[in-house]
Structure 1
């Protein structure tokens, strides 16, 4: 599975193990029966490999997706109109709701999902963390009662020891800390992240050789009461007449296994319903 920190992992411990010599509110997450692993070179290599045989266009903004009276779908884009046999709409809920014309009640229900923002900081280190730092775990999570700005920390070298000569720590800030820092400049955000992590990684300030800040407005979809029922109703209600099928993270979680399941389900549903005869064309 893929955690929000950006590293694909196998099964996590259930639920988490205590970090040795760490505050009581901190827990580690690591692999069960197998070590944590990632895709060398970044997760982008996975999607690039999957798309290698497809006709992929970049820099095209989809402004509207509309069903075409049972005969496929029409896409209004920054390069004009396109017709397609079917469309898999795999964006987060907010952009999907904005571009989907005339959503059905069941579509509106699964698209009405709140998101929490994500403010992540990557800290490059000259050398990998020592084996006993952060309890030797791939990552740590802060408990709800812990007085810290941190939500979680992931350690690249614990998933891919050959990725680089040093290390990369991915620091995820809590929403309560991310909010006030959202509009701050990158150096200010990095300083806050290093200060929050320093109690767990002594001497961190002098070990950082590079930083990167990522602001993710719709990072984590919530799962309000009744949402699973809404997703089940939506999936069971997709018919042969539906040329647009949703497959965003609002139907599951923002993890690799969930994305793969949603995409495969949507594609299988369209193929089973006979979509695929109408070649894509411009107008």
Structure 2
């Protein structure tokens, strides 16, 4: 496929571009900054005219794309004022979804967020490990937008039943250069309790994108995407007892197994996280 990737110059986007290219797909990167060349188009996603033009054709760069991966966003709460986070992220997502559907694309994969699970878990989760089965609990404007994007996707595929939109609720994205800090987390379990000590290696995140593009059926679905383990050396039972006493534990926590369940993504997308910080430090 020829695939447009928004946010192609970002932390996850650069790895996704590499993963898709190595899998044999042709990638057109869309971002505000990036390398000058045939595989990149500079575009402001909050301008619908630019979006639909960039997806349709850009000179001799391309003459249309088959699928869309949407990763571009203000990537976390607290970076920009809330009103700008809302404006930028909701407009960008509506524009790329609407343009893709208007142009006849039927495969869309995009970055939702672990935050819709209720992060930063100042109010504890209803149970551990968490999964996609309980209703969204946005606790910030950033998370609210992610929830609204998922709601928008539900309605868009109802209007267009042939379209597949997959929301990947990525955990905190990491690359190998980040892993040197991980051993220091053990000193204070509350430092990373905000997302149940979870993370996702960007290489596994890219794998999830590729699998969703290649296998997700028509309609909408959302998936938690996390590494197979936590960021901690301390065992899960000890962490949960200390930081989340009284929260229902469903099943075996494992010693260091991720407390974000990826069982649904493994079952329906074939996702298999293979990268761990423990192999890098």
TM-score in terms of structure 1 length: 0.26
Larger radius of gyration: 1
Q: As a proportion of its length, which structure holds more strand? A: 1
Highest RCO, 1 vs 2 (Cα 8 Å, sep ≥ 6) = 1
Structure with the higher helix share, 1 or 2:
2
TM-score of the pair, normalised by structure 2: 0.26
